[in-house]
Chain A
Amino acid sequence: MDSSRNTIWSAMQSKGYNRRDFLQFCTMAAVIAGIEQSALGSVVEAFEKVERPPIVWLHFQECTCCSESFIRASHPIVADILLDAVSLNYTETLQAASGFQAEKCLQDTIKKYPGKYILMVEGAIPTADGGVYCMIGGRTAEQILQECAKDAGTIIAWGSCASNGCVQAAKPNPTGATPVHKLVSQPVINVPGCPPIADVMAAVVTHLLVHGRAPELDSLGRPREFYGRRVHDTCYRRPNYDAGLFVESFDDENARKGYCLYKMGCRGPITYNACSVVKWNEGTSYPIQSGHGCIGCSEEGFWDNGPFYQHLRSFPGFGIESTADTVGATLGLVTLAGAGVHAAVTNIRKQKLIAEIHAEDAESNHQKES
């Protein structure tokens, strides 16, 4: 093995750790990753042999909050990831080189590490009108994505933009914004959220490095580890929900007691994310803890399910506030009224109808008898 290549072991040596520290680190990593003790040997080996895995991080239709979130990671901190764990070879947001020198970083990586580099995508890809709504270096986002995806070892879609289209894909989706998994043929690890939680992002990367394979994914391509439960399932306000104790208006008596935000539109019951457990920014808080309902930012199409202040979307085609209930109740009343009118009319025609029916019956009985 080329000794100049940096492995995690050599990176640790250089930071003054000894072999015992290193083994301890491997054990910890293995425990975190849930590997049995017997398999520990292979982890040690993996860290000793693997050169820092090259990463290409593409930016398309995005607000860069996924990158911003990523640098908020606290365990591990992002400096350690960037300097010791991976080799982030291309990312427009942070890299030193610009212009063709930057593009060279990209080309070098995909040529040198076919099948090995990790492709991370932040942002959606506009597909309308030939893809002109996002172009880098004179090429469209889609052209760049296809080129980079072709030989990627693993593909990660960061955030709701890359995993489900997010805000630019909200109606009427003027630029044809499309998530990554709809454009590439390989499997994609979707890490939705607007943005995803920093430590979840760091953990997905760590998972890949430690295991050398993708975390277990659900039917929407999301790591079960972080998207297997609803925000609601582990929300600390859940006892209030079950007890029927709800905030009725922002900053009311109940809000000040931390009651459940369901009636303020909380989407926690239909949102799969780790917010209520991992929480945000080193476990400091999460939307609900700070008094606002979950808007479901990790779910496909959450923008088109507003207003955010009722727990179900408004009924399409009616006023902003019309819920399924207002529409339904109106129809119900109309129906009741209809039945009432119908009954009244029937009643007026009663004499005539009964007379006619009896006349018929009488006649048929008469016929039988005669």
Chain B
Amino acid sequence: MSRIVVDPVTRVEGHLRVEAVVEGGRIVDAFSSGMMVRGLEKILIGRDPRDAWAIVGRVCGVCTSCHSLTSVRAVEDALGIVIPRTAELIRNLMECTIQIHDHVVHFYHLHALDWVDVVSVLKADPARTAAIAQSISTYPKSSAAYFSEVQQRIKKFVDSGQLGIFANGYWGHPQFKLPPEVNLLGVAHYLEALEWQKEIVKVHTIFGGKNPHPNYLVGGVPCSINVDEVNAINTERLNYVGSLISQAEEFINQVYIPDVLAIAGFYKDWASIGGGLPNYLSYGDMPTRGYAHPEYFKFPRGVVLNRDLSTVHPVNAKDKQEIKEYIAHSWYNYQEGNDAGMHPFDGETSLHYTGPKPPFETLAESEKYSFIKTPRWQDQPMEVGPLARLVVGYAAGNTDIREVVNDALGRLNVPKEALFSTLGRTAARALDAKLAVHYMREFFGQLLDQVKANETSTFNPEKWNPSTWPAEAEGVGLTEAPRGALAHYIKIKDGRIANYQLVVPTTWNGSPRDGRGQHSAFEASLIGSPVANLEQPLEIIRTLHSFDPCLACSVH
């Protein structure tokens, strides 16, 4: 029996540490630790609820804007504010934008190096890469000359002896199974994606003024529309958004999706590794008739238990029995004691580190080993994320979701069960992006219709002034962030924040086990995974990356 410590887990947002116990080449136990905390839930108390979006926006710059959106939803829910339809469409466009951006950056820049061996690129025949590229996609940058240029660039880079971010990677590991030509394709698109990702975020810049961290507003969106004015969202701005969506459609459908499917074809063994938990939670998102009407969301809300796709269980995030956060293995205190589970409306954030004094070697022996709290739905652990989103949607019979999922399963020639795996998670993320860009086009068309009909109001001023607020109010904001189900709970008292709690996707997935010993998603999916070489824990980071961990989010 031996122990592997991976700290830092790189190519994730933030400070993730994983300790795994390996026996006979398989993981028998795993400990996932969030190693950084900022105490934002405490910092929020006493502030103006209208400022909260900006503060919680800084929870994360990777899924940037998700927390801001969730926050304004929470405040609007508490105060009973309904935003104009035009504002809803703009928010949807911005949300689709981060969905797509985050997924692409995750796949190419955070995840790809788990599947693509950069060094083997030097052995590739660019002409064959070109042939492969042309066979799977109509993307124009696919000539042999193009791939050869990329190869030359990598060669010079490797020859320089300064390997930069590629130094000490697990190159040559037996788990790398792509032929050199496909590796070259992957590396070329690594660079291509790096250039493209800075384009799509301009949708945020146009409507929100900047990216990362675009601006939001309680009651709507801050930008005004006026097609007779250069100082507002006008035809030029709308055209700009339109062309960014076109670029995104091309990139997702002609680069991202084909790449994922091509790479997945070589790694079908990973369709039975890393499945982890059998339960999936999605809050649903992309409102089409207001946030108060989840029945019209593009992505349905619900829970699937035990991978039983015949039933979708309803979710009520306000129900004090449904969602609770535990701290049995987390560095916090609850007034009611370590074993209590707190509904986030009454949640507490009282830091109490009890781990070893740094520097230390191991955490697994300590009772508490993470700053991540442990959320549970009806006391059960849930996986959240793009996969959960699709699984819940699939189970709910959503036609768009069924179509993309069935199409991908068909093309890979794998059964539905393949979804519940490391590979399934990675593929689901790509399909999620495909849906997002599809909806983006739809929302954009509807936005133009609004403009045409001269219904351009983007802000509801009724409850802007705190003197119009009740003395006490509470609300929940729910969002499907790129990494999954995100909830913000706010309590407002006398115009100020009395309590604010975030339960974040990576809090669900990356948390430590609960008091009953039930593992959360990271730990559950690592247990049982093979590890070929204890010195090169490629399998561990592969499965972890399939969740796209975000530690700043998970702890906040």
Contacts and interface: CB of A to CB of B under 8 A. Distances in A.
Contacts of A52: 160, 162, 164
Contacts of A301: none
Contact of A64 (B8, B14, B458): B14
B359 A138 contact: yes
Contacts of A297: 213
Contact of B207 (A72, A86, A198, A290): A290
A285 interface: yes
B170 interface: yes
Contacts of A99: 4-9, 537
B167 A89 contact: yes
A34 interface: no
A94 B11 CA distance: 5
B465 to A, nearest CB: 8
Interface stretch (B60-68, B69-77, B295-303): B60-68
Nearest to B33: A135
Given A96-B167, A195-B212, A251-B457, A170 B43 contact: yes
Contacts of A102: 8, 10, 168
B315 interface: no
B177 interface: no
Given A96-B113, A307-B51, A290 B205 contact: yes
Contacts of B552: 62-64
6 contacts: A72-B212, A89-B167, A91-B165, A96-B168, A166-B58, A174-B39
Contacts of A11: 156, 160
Q: Which of B12, B15, B40, B161 has the most CB of A within 10 A?
A: B15
A101 B166 CA distance: 11
Nearest to B160: A6
Interface in B439-469: 457-459, 461, 464, 466-467
Given A93-B10, A175-B37, A68 B167 contact: no
Contacts of A198: 198
A138 B358 contact: yes
Interface residues of A, number: 110
A246 B507 CA distance: 43
A151 B336 CA distance: 48
Contacts of B403: none
Contact of B226 (A4, A97, A126, A257): A257
A166 B57 CA distance: 12
Interface stretch (A73-81, A207-215, A329-337, A354-362): A73-81
Contact of B43 (A68, A94, A167): A167
A250 B43 contact: no
A320 B49 CA distance: 10
Interface stretch (A39-47, A219-227, A276-284): A276-284
B54 interface: yes
B118 interface: yes
A132 B156 contact: no
Interface residues of B, number: 110
Contacts of A275: 210
A238 interface: no
Chain B CB count within 10 A is highest, among A51, A102, A250, A255, for A250
A138 B8 contact: no
Interface of B: 4-15, 35-40, 42-43, 47-48, 50-51, 54-55, 58-62, 64, 105, 109-110, 113, 118, 152-153, 156-157, 159-170, 191, 194-195, 197-198, 201-202, 204-215, 217, 219-226, 229-233, 240, 351, 353, 355, 357-361, 371, 457-459, 461, 464, 466-467, 494-496, 536-537, 541, 552
Contact of A255 (B42, B47, B224): B224
Nearest to B461: A249
Contacts of A137: 7-8
Nearest to A308: B51
Contacts of A98: 6, 8-11, 537, 541
A225 B36 CA distance: 34
Nearest to B538: A98
B223 A290 contact: yes
A292 B168 contact: no
Contact of A281 (B105, B166, B202, B220): B202
Nearest to A104: B168
A189 to B, nearest CB: 20
A98 B59 CA distance: 24
Given A79-B194, A285-B205, A289-B209, A4 B161 contact: yes
A59 interface: yes
| Main SS class of interface, B | loop
A179 interface: no
Contacts of B209: 280, 285-292
Contacts of B222: 250, 290-292
Nearest to A62: B552
A315 interface: no
Given A257-B229, A285-B209, A139 B43 contact: no
Contacts of A89: 162, 164-165, 167
A282 B42 CA distance: 36
A68 B170 contact: no
Given A167-B58, A281-B210, A79 B191 contact: yes
Interface in A249-305: 249-252, 255-258, 275, 280-282, 284-292, 295, 297, 303
A303 B62 contact: no
Contacts of A60: 36
Nearest to B210: A280
A95 B10 contact: yes
A136 interface: yes
Select the residue from A83, A96, A143, A170 with max chain B CB neighbours within 10 A.
Answer: A96
Contacts of B229: 256-258
Interface string A96-126: 1111111111001000000000000000001
A78 to B, nearest CB: 6
A131 B353 CA distance: 10
A195 B9 CA distance: 24
Interface string A50-65: 0110100001111111
A306 B13 CA distance: 28
B529 to A, nearest CB: 15
A88 B495 contact: no
A71 B165 contact: no
B30 to A, nearest CB: 14
A249 B464 contact: yes
Contacts of B207: 290
A11 B64 CA distance: 34
Contacts of A64: 13-14, 60-62, 552
B162 A135 contact: no
Nearest to B118: A96
A64 B541 CA distance: 20
Contacts of B11: 92-96, 98
A251 B224 CA distance: 5
Contact of A96 (B48, B166, B231): B166
B153 A83 contact: yes
Contact of A97 (B7, B169, B191, B494): B169
Contact of B357 (A87, A130, A306): A130
A194 interface: yes
A290 B208 contact: yes
